[in-house]
Amino acid sequence: MPRTLPAVGLDSLVELIAAHPDGLGIEAIAKLNGDSVARRTLQRRLALLVSQGRIQTTGEARSTRYLRQPHTTQANMAVRLNADGAAASAAAVDEAYVPISPEGAEIKAFVRQPRTQRPPVGYRVAFLQQYQPNQTAYLPPGLREQLHAMGRSPAEQTPAGTFARDILNRLLIDLSWASSQLEGNTYSRLDTERLIEFGQAAQGKGALETQMILNHKQAIEYLVLDPANARLSPDTLIALHAFLADGLMADPSAVGRLRRRAVEIGGSVYLPVALPQRLEELFGIVVQMAADIQDPFEQAFFLMVHLPYLQPFEDVNKPVSRLAANIPFIRHNLCPLSFIDVSQKAYVDAMIGVYELNRIELLRDVFVWAYERSCQHYVAVQQNLVLPDLFRLRYRQALSEVVAALVKGDEAATAANVANKLPSVVAEADQRDFIQLVLQEFAALHPGNAVRFGIRPLELAVWRGKHGSDSKD
């Protein structure tokens, strides 16, 4: 989403639309606006207002009309976010907040002041220099012990990423939904589930909101499905940005690339580093420092603090930091951090506290509460997990290769075709059971789970059109 749209222009559009209870089409809006804005710019502004929940749509294509959201919906909405996720309004101050410490309350009081009463500040290298990996601690030892006790999973002694893969379907929905909500996305959890599992976009939602959810899904799968990707390196973080920012940037060339221009943060008086060479240098330092931290919780929280503070990308910095914070949890088979039920307002306040005061206490309050909430949620998920199928686990890679080979090779899922593609790793005594396992997998294959085998939805649809009824035991 572009970050250059002026708030005044957006507010005027909302007022114009609100004056017409029956809604307006884009042609009428352009005419009433005096044709002062290019059509593409007007489309982007309307899409942004829809994604923020300030207006809604009815109809499709050329019959699309834009209407003001009902007042009750507006009152319950959290503070709106601009394209970078920063505060764009102080509305809905009664929104549920997380429990906070006295230090967190001080920060909250400061950031609630009007911007005109908060002095502009730039990036302070000293804030980063003051941190020494494994010597400095944003999370005290006692708190880290508490977090470790909460986050232990049944997969503690298994290979890295096992637990995240076990609960992948739930994690895709929860983290995609909750992280997108923190950016102002108005998809419900049920809408998100339908989109991820069945590819059904929610009615009345903007394309940008749908794109944001699907981007999260792809980025999470990138980290979870291949343990080699779940590592802290510049390449990994840039790849996360490429997934998360796809289709959401005003400049498509800025996707998956460190920024090359100065940016501002709406709702804040903080001005990030502007010089590209300096930014690239600091990005490398931040990532290396994070990689050097031994404790996974300290590592995750450091990323949540310093990636958004540096603002290495033109946009979508905080979503990158939230997914990057899960890398240590994936690697150590700890409960993931899904940000379920996190107050958008509390999160934004906490980030502004980091930006303008270099204080982390309010963000720490949010982080600890969010992690405890995630653990409570996934304890219930763990209790419902089916015990692992050791045979399937042993031949997991072989199973993936055969399923993908049949679909991509345009062959029916028959016992004979599976037998012709048996990998050498499948023991002779296991071959009959392995063939049945492959056929069972095809019986349950759909666009939502085919990604596990590297099969795109279109590939599966084409294969099904030819061979869907040819599968035989």
- Between CA 217 and CA 275 the distance in angstroms is 32
Sign of CA dihedral 271, 276, 281, 285: positive
Spatial distance between the Cα atoms of 361 and 341, rounded to a whole number of angstroms: 19
Chunk the chain into consecutive blocks of 10 residues (it has 473) and report each block's average pLDDT, rounded to whole numbers: 48 81 83 74 77 74 73 36 38 64 93 91 96 96 92 61 68 91 93 92 92 94 88 95 93 93 92 96 97 97 98 96 95 90 93 97 96 80 51 84 92 92 90 90 86 87 81 53
- Is the CATH number 1.10.10.10 carried by domain 7-76? yes
Closest CA to 7 of 40, 36, 45, 59: 45
Could you tell me the two tokens for 244?
Answer: 């998360």
Rounded CA gap, 342 and 374, in Å?
10
The structure tokens listed for 276 are 């590209």
Question: What was the pLDDT predicted at 56?
Answer: 83
Tens-place pLDDT, residues 119-151: 999 999 999 999 999 999 999 999 999 999 888
Domain boundaries, the chain: 7-76, 102-384, 390-467
Spell out the residues 6+ positions from residue 65 whose beta carbon is closer than 8 angstroms to its own. Answer: 22, 23, 24, 25, 57, 58, 59
CATH placement of domain 102-384: 1.10.3290.10
Dist. CA 380–CA 170, nearest whole Å? 11
